[in-house]
Structure 1
Amino acid sequence: MISEENGQYLLEVAKEAISVYLETNRRISIPQDCPDELKEDLGVFVTLNKNHRLRGCIGYPEPVKSLIESTIDVAIAAAFDDPRFPELKTEEYGELEFEVTVLTLPELIEVAHPKQYFDEIEIGRDGLIIQKGYARGLLLPQVAPENGFDVEEFLDHTCMKAGISADSWMDESCDVYKFQGQIFK
């Protein structure tokens, strides 16, 4: 995917985007020294933790614009627009732990029987998207190991994130996608 050096660059851009937005209420521009590798369209999430607890997480699961533009967008959104949390306050900034996860394209997992998902999903490597009608939930690859989920629990929790019953992944009308993420902290 992308180099470690460019991943760290993205992390610094995410921090700067939030810091500048806190101070000026303005979005930063794409830095002049942005590496070409970061101009590729890729999905990305920015996760903010405070005291080892989630404080905000927003992302684009699919490549909608360049990685650098998307990182700026979702960093600001994670700090100020995550509906689960109040807007970030200036005094919280110094307590944040930042994480940027660059995603591969989601891949539909095709199975003849739902139990085959157990062979197709690897905990710690794969993230999941589950979609049923208009309901859609996503959990990043790091969520399962951080919470001690096995594959069935990971599927269940992704369904619940979509706002559908935990066992919906067993329903033929439900689509299950997997993707990988490259994490920078």
Structure 2
Amino acid sequence: MFKPYNLEEGAYLVKLARRAVEEFIKSRRVLKPPEDTPSRLLKDNYGVFTTIETVKENGTTELRGCIGFPRGNVNTARATINSALAAAFDDPRFAPLDPSELDSVLFEVSVLSPLEEARFSSPRELVNMVKVGVHGLVVERGMYSGLLLPQVPVEYCWDTVMYLDEACEKAYLSPECWAEEGTRVYVYEAQVFRERRPRGEIYERNLLEELNRCHFEER
């Protein structure tokens, strides 16, 4: 299981993501990793995604922005800053985050393991290889590419085939493209840290536990 960071380091990343967005709103300045950044966050270069969700009056959440970089090319702290700013201001599905929203949004940071191409000789072999609650997916075919974080199929309670189909659709491809010759499928894992409430306690998500609850509630 991919777990490069402890809870203290993960909490630092989530707070850094929020701080980067707040600083940019305040001064239009891109935050640099602060002096108190834990050393490992400055040495590692994992891929990072930031997810921002709006908390509604009934306590449920809805997506407000999610952008990241699956292949690490800068240190994890810098990648967190970059992905947070992109999720807040550059997600084409949403208007830029407004200052009035800061007290009603949750920040979540996903640290990604290096992508590994899935080698399989049949569609069934791939279905057996991909584990919901463990693996994130990247599907590539020609100029098209789509990524789904590992928490997505857990939140929607998808099975593996639906997960693969949805990853193809994310890439603007036909749902069953993953079973076709010429499609490349990559898997990875993610360590996910999240606010329980806006500006509140930060915890590490256990996706397998969440998946078990999802299946229990379906019964």
Using structure 1 for the length normalisation, give the TM-score: 0.98
Query: Residue type matched to 2:114 in 1?
Result: L
Alpha-carbon separation, structure 1, partners of 2:73 and 2:93: 24
Name 2:50's counterpart in structure 1.
46
- Cα distance, 1:168 vs structure 2: 0.6
Q: What CA deviation, in whole Å up to 9, does each residue of 1:2-61 have, x standing for no partner?
A: 111100001110010001111111111110111111011110100000021110001010
Query: Residue type matched to 2:54 in 1?
Result: K
Name 1:151's counterpart in structure 2.
160
Name 2:111's counterpart in structure 1.
102
Query: Residue type matched to 1:126 in 2?
Result: H
Name 2:17's counterpart in structure 1.
14
2:40 to 25, 37, 40: 37
Number of aligned residue pairs: give it. Answer: 185
Matches within 5 A, 1:127-142: 127-142=136-151
- Cα distance, 1:82 vs structure 2: 0.4
Alpha-carbon separation, structure 2, partners of 1:85 and 1:179: 27
Query: Residue type matched to 2:34 in 1?
Result: P
Alpha-carbon separation, structure 1, partners of 2:75 and 2:143: 26
Name 2:5's counterpart in structure 1.
2
1:73 to 65, 82, 94: 82
SS of the residue corresponding to residue 166 of structure 1 reads: coil
Query: Residue type matched to 1:79 in 2?
Result: A
- Cα distance, 1:174 vs structure 2: 0.3
Alpha-carbon separation, structure 2, partners of 1:172 and 1:115: 14
Query: Residue type matched to 2:187 in 1?
Result: K
Name 1:167's counterpart in structure 2.
176
Using structure 2 for the length normalisation, give the TM-score: 0.83
Alpha-carbon separation, structure 2, partners of 1:170 and 1:118: 10
Structure 1 segments of 4+ aligned residues over 3 angstroms from their partners: none
What are structure 1's unaligned runs of at least 5 residues? none
- Cα distance, 1:64 vs structure 2: 1.2
